[in-house]
Amino acid sequence: MFDHGTNGTSLPGLHAALQPLLSARAVTKVYPTGAATEVRALNGVNIDLYERELVVLLGPSGSGKSTLLNILGGLDTPTSGTVRFRDTDLTEADDRMLTRYRRETVGFIFQFFNLIPSLTARENVELITDIATDPIAPEEALGLVGLGDRMDHFPSELSGGEQQRVAIARAIAKRPEVLLCDEPTGALDVKTGMLVLDAIGRVNRELGALVVVITHNAVIAEIADRVVSLSDGRIAGVRTNTIRRPISELSW
Partner 1 sequence: MVGAMSPLDKKLFRDLGRMKGQMAAVVVVMACGLMVMVMERGLVCSLEHSKSEYYARHRLADVFCELRRAPNSLRTTLSHISGTAAVETRVLGVATLDIPGMEEPAQATLVSIPDDRPPRLNLLYLRSGRLPLAGRRGEAVLSDAFAQEHGFRPGDTIDATILGARVRLQIVATALSPEFVYELPPGGIMPDNRRFGILWMGERELAAALGLKGGFNSVVVDVSPYGDIRTVRSELERILAPYGARIAYGRREHPSVNMVDEEIRGLRATAVAFPLVFLSIAAFMTSAALTRLVRLQREQIGQLKALGYSSREIGWHYTKFALVAVVLGTGIGGALGLWAGSRLVLLYHPFFRFPSLTFHPEWPSLFFGLVASTATSLAGVATGVRRAVALSPATAMRPEPPGEFRRPAVRFPQLQNLAPPSFRMAVRNLRRKPWQAAFTGLGLAFATAIPVVSVAMDDGIRYMMDFQWRLAQRQDVTVSLVEPGSYRAMTELAALPGVLYAEPFRAVPARIVAGHRERQLAITGLTRAARLSRLLDEEANPIGLPRGGLALSEQLAKTLRIGPGDTLRIEVQEGKRPVFTVVVAALLTDFAGVGAYMDIEALRRRMGEGSTISGAHLEVDGNRWSGFFAAVKRSPRIAAVATTRSVRETYDRMMGDMMDITKVIMSLFAVVLSFSVIYNGARIALSERTRDLAALRVLGFTRNEVAAVLVGELAILTFVALIPGLFLGNQLTRLILASTVTETMRIPVLVTSRAYATAATVVLVSSFVSFGVVSRRIIRLDLLGVLKARE
Min dist. Cβ of residue 181 to ligand ADP (A): 12
Q: Which is nearer to ligand ADP, 80 or 248 (CB)?
A: 80
What span, in angstroms and rounded, lies between the C-alpha atoms of 119 and 151?
11
Q: Does 30 bind partner 1 (CB under 8 A)?
A: no
Q: Does 33 bind ligand ADP (CB under 6 A)?
A: yes
The only residue of 4, 65, 122, 174 in contact with ligand ADP, by rule CB under 6 A: 65
Q: Does 95 bind partner 1 (CB under 8 A)?
A: yes
The answer to whether 214 touches 60, Cβ cutoff 8 Å, is no
What span, in angstroms and rounded, lies between the C-alpha atoms of 156 and 179?
25
Compute how many other C-beta atoms are within 10 angstroms of the C-beta atom of residue 39: 14
How close are the terminal C-alpha atoms of the chain, in Å?
24
Q: Which stretch binds ligand ADP (CB under 6 A): 44-52, 58-66, 168-176, 237-245?
A: 58-66
Q: Does 120 bind ligand ADP (CB under 6 A)?
A: no
Q: Does 126 bind partner 1 (CB under 8 A)?
A: yes
- 188: nearest Cα among 197, 180, 177, 176: 197
Min dist. Cβ of residue 112 to Mg ion (A): 11
Pinpoint the alpha helices (H) of the chain: 14-17, 65-72, 95-104, 121-129, 138-144, 160-172, 190-202
Q: Does 39 bind ligand ADP (CB under 6 A)?
A: yes
Q: Does 75 bind partner 1 (CB under 8 A)?
A: yes
Does residue 142 sit in helix, strand or coil?
helix
Q: At what angle do helices 160-172 and 190-202 cross, to 10 degrees?
A: 10
Footprint on this chain of Mg ion (rule: CB under 5 A): 66
The only residue of 27, 41, 171, 200 in contact with ligand ADP, by rule CB under 6 A: 41
Query: Could you list the residues that contact partner 1 (CB under 8 A)?
Result: 66-67, 70, 73, 75-77, 95-96, 99-100, 102-104, 106, 108, 110, 112, 114-119, 123-124, 126-128, 130-132, 170, 174
